[in-house]
Chains A and B, each alone.
Chain A
Amino acid sequence: MNIGLLETGSGNWNAIIWLIMFIIIGISAIWIRSHGEDQYKKNTDQTKPFLSGNREISKEDSHVGASHIYWGFTEALKRYYKPMVALHTGNINDYSGWIILVMAIIFIIVGVS
């Protein structure tokens, strides 16, 4: 099947075949699921999340805001983030300074090469 066959330099990629496989696997998953346990009852305790026995907080209060997402990631990398954020001063003098610095570095590299 050559339609959609992309040569990547080390192999091939065909999105059409991927899509067909995705559909087949999706249909298979739905078919398998339809043969599963049918004791599910809507609007009973079965449908509520189990939070170690604690009561579920309201849906409005349970939405996690953007600032709290990946808190652990940023906390673990705070030694990277602290100087990196500090470098983004918002000061146009610094923006210009970075251009000059990069230009100077490239001057040295190209000059000696």
Chain B
Amino acid sequence: MSSIMTHAPALVIAFPLLAAFLVPVVSRLNKKILGIFVAVVLGFTLLITLLMAVRILPGNPLIYVFGGSEAGLTLPSGYTVPIRIIFHIDSMGIFMGLITAIVSFLGAIYSIAFMDKHSGLEKYYALLLLLATGMFGMEFTGDIFNFFVFLEIASIASVALIAFRSNLSGEPAEAGFKYMVVSSISALMVLFAVGLFYGQYDVLNMATIASVMKFTQLDKIALILLVTVLAMKAGSVPMHMWTPDAYSEAPASITMILVAASQASLYALFRIIFSLYNITLNTITIGWIIIILGLLSMFIGVTMAIIQKDIKRLMAYHAVSQTGYMLLGVGVGIAVLANPIALETFGIKAMEGGIFHIMNHAMYKGLLFLTAGALFYRTGTRNLNKMGGLGNNMIYTAIFFIIGAAAIAGIPPFNGFASKLIIYESVFQFNPLLSIIAMLVSILTLASFVKVFHSAFLGPKMEQYKDVKEVPKSMLFAMGALACIIVLFGLFPDLVVKYIVHPAVMALINQSSYTAVILGGM
């Protein structure tokens, strides 16, 4: 058991990565068990991630040195800086890892029935596993060049998965191409920033760069490049326009994972600001930049969502809007990072709200995209104008949709309410206007999902859908599991905040402990 825990960070990457290359072999042996094989692999990955979380969340970061004589030996005798690739998993990293593990596992289960009529499934499942690998790597690595590599793995797998259903029409290919272009821009900028760090400091380990950071002009340029492109990858307005294209054209199970992949970029943005730069930067300026990006995302995202007729495009704009809440909460934390009194009074709480919202959003937006996929699975359309009365025949899907919609609209007692309430009340102490805008956006979110519910589920049975049945059990299981998490997180938000969110926030804020784990208090 201790051996598994020692190598757990490597196993979380190795399981899906090796399975991705085994998928074509399994497909040759028996195509029917392909989905089950992938679900089992990702189930094991989830189990290992949970075991790591139990160890890490109480405040014991996990270090894994690749190729070293010992997994935890960051500085072998005679070395003053780490030279190997190191996985550095603290409470924030494992918080994100849990999200990735849950959504990729449930995405695989949902895919068993959802994708069963498609051909080329060995490619689909291999790409799904590679996407999960890339996301885990982005969240666990402590090496900035290694982060770039995993970002690329996740991006390339995402492009192929978005374009996977190009046999239906040309639109998935177009969406995949657009995502490829914006991902390439972001990858180039990240690589350029990595070059700037390496050129100045001769190291790639993030904790080491943080310990010698001088905030030179080159560091400023690197910061700007990283903030911009990672905010774009997270879907922040006005760089959000790829999200409706990509999220709507990808299969629903993949859209759910793509939401978590965007959040992995958001995590990277926060990690770089807090762990790499921290108070060396002008926190008020950067904080307000993040807050303004958040406000724009919240408001423009929701107002664009309300006029959509395509259910997945509508939900995609809501994903943009919800990202705004996370940026707002954490942006307030950044703005007061150099002010210990304000940070203690409301900054930490605002960050808890923002970080808690990442987890909540992954769950309820995942659920909503899966319900949209269920509707598409049975009706063959995403056009809300062509839907109606489906609640008569798809009662479980309707119930899951209500849970997801209530959560995203911030209705108690669901999880979205808990994180939004923390954001409203803490941000109010920073600037009441920001809080009022956030509440207004929630009202518009509710209005938008009332429209979807009315259009798709209410009304008399339509002639063309009179024989529609409920979706298969594997799809119901995935939706049901997410619905349970939403309800439980909503009923017991205090436990989630205390044991998962608060440690994650403190791991972000406390830069000295981040560097000390690697450098031993240098």
Chain A contacts to B: CB under 8 angstroms? 2-11, 13, 15-16, 18-19, 22, 59-60, 62-67, 69-70, 73-74, 77, 80-81, 84-85, 87-88, 90, 92, 94-96, 98-99, 101-103, 106-107, 109-111, 113
When C-beta atoms are compared, the residue in chain A nearest to B285 turns out to be A113
**B181 close to A (CB within 8 Å):** yes
Interface contact B282-A113, CB-CB below 8 Å: yes
Interface contact A96-B493, CB-CB below 8 Å: no
**B455 close to A (CB within 8 Å):** yes
Expressed in whole angstroms, the Cα–Cα distance for A2 and B185 within the complex equals 49
Given A98-B238, A106-B289, residue A60 in contact with residue B455 (CB < 8 A): no
Interface contact A95-B224, CB-CB below 8 Å: no
Q: Which residues of the other chain, B, contact A59 by a CB distance below 8 angstroms? A: 459-460
Q: Which residues of the other chain, A, contact B350 by a CB distance below 8 angstroms? A: 9
Expressed in whole angstroms, the Cα–Cα distance for A109 and B426 within the complex equals 26
Q: Which residues of the other chain, A, contact B177 by a CB distance below 8 angstroms? A: 92
Q: Which residues of the other chain, A, contact B181 by a CB distance below 8 angstroms? A: 92, 95-96
Given A9-B425, A13-B418, 17 additional A-B pairs, CB 8 A: A8-B425, A9-B426, A11-B425, A13-B421, A15-B412, A15-B417, A16-B491, A59-B460, A63-B388, A63-B460, A66-B451, A73-B447, A81-B303, A88-B241, A90-B241, A103-B225, A110-B282
Interface contact B454-A94, CB-CB below 8 Å: no
We find that the number of chain B residues with CB closer than 8 angstroms to chain A is: 65
When C-beta atoms are compared, the residue in chain A nearest to B490 turns out to be A15
Interface contact B239-A98, CB-CB below 8 Å: yes
Q: Mark B406-427, 1 if CB is under 8 A from A, else 0.
A: 0000001100011001100110
Given A84-B304, A98-B238, A106-B289, residue A15 in contact with residue B413 (CB < 8 A): yes
Q: Which residues of the other chain, B, contact A88 by a CB distance below 8 angstroms? A: 241, 244, 304
Interface contact A8-B426, CB-CB below 8 Å: yes
Contact of B493 among A6, A22, A84 (CB under 8 A): A6
When C-beta atoms are compared, the residue in chain B nearest to A13 turns out to be B421
Interface contact B178-A92, CB-CB below 8 Å: yes
Interface contact A106-B413, CB-CB below 8 Å: no
**B202 close to A (CB within 8 Å):** no
Given A3-B492, A59-B459, residue A8 in contact with residue B306 (CB < 8 A): no
Given A96-B182, A109-B285, residue A4 in contact with residue B492 (CB < 8 A): yes
**B242 close to A (CB within 8 Å):** yes
User: Closest approach, in angstroms, between the C-beta of A19 and any C-beta of chain B?
Assistant: 6
Expressed in whole angstroms, the Cα–Cα distance for A107 and B286 within the complex equals 11
Interface contact A99-B346, CB-CB below 8 Å: no
Given A59-B460, A84-B303, residue A99 in contact with residue B455 (CB < 8 A): no
Contact of B447 among A70, A77, A95, A102 (CB under 8 A): A70
When C-beta atoms are compared, the residue in chain B nearest to A80 turns out to be B303
Q: Which residues of the other chain, B, contact A80 by a CB distance below 8 angstroms? A: 303
Which residues in window 322-350 of B have CB below 8 A to A?
346, 349-350
Expressed in whole angstroms, the Cα–Cα distance for A96 and B242 within the complex equals 10
Of B226-234, B262-270, B397-405, the stretch lying at the interface with chain A is B226-234
**B494 close to A (CB within 8 Å):** yes
Expressed in whole angstroms, the Cα–Cα distance for A5 and B239 within the complex equals 38
Expressed in whole angstroms, the Cα–Cα distance for A11 and B232 within the complex equals 34
Expressed in whole angstroms, the Cα–Cα distance for A49 and B419 within the complex equals 41
**Listed A/B pairs (30) with beta-carbon separation below 8 Å:** A6-B418, A6-B493, A7-B349, A8-B426, A9-B346, A9-B350, A9-B426, A13-B412, A15-B413, A15-B417, A15-B493, A18-B413, A60-B462, A63-B459, A65-B388, A66-B451, A70-B307, A70-B451, A73-B447, A74-B306, A74-B307, A77-B303, A84-B300, A84-B304, A90-B245, A95-B178, A102-B232, A106-B228, A110-B223, A111-B220
**B389 close to A (CB within 8 Å):** yes
Expressed in whole angstroms, the Cα–Cα distance for A15 and B282 within the complex equals 39
Interface contact B185-A99, CB-CB below 8 Å: yes
Interface contact A73-B228, CB-CB below 8 Å: no
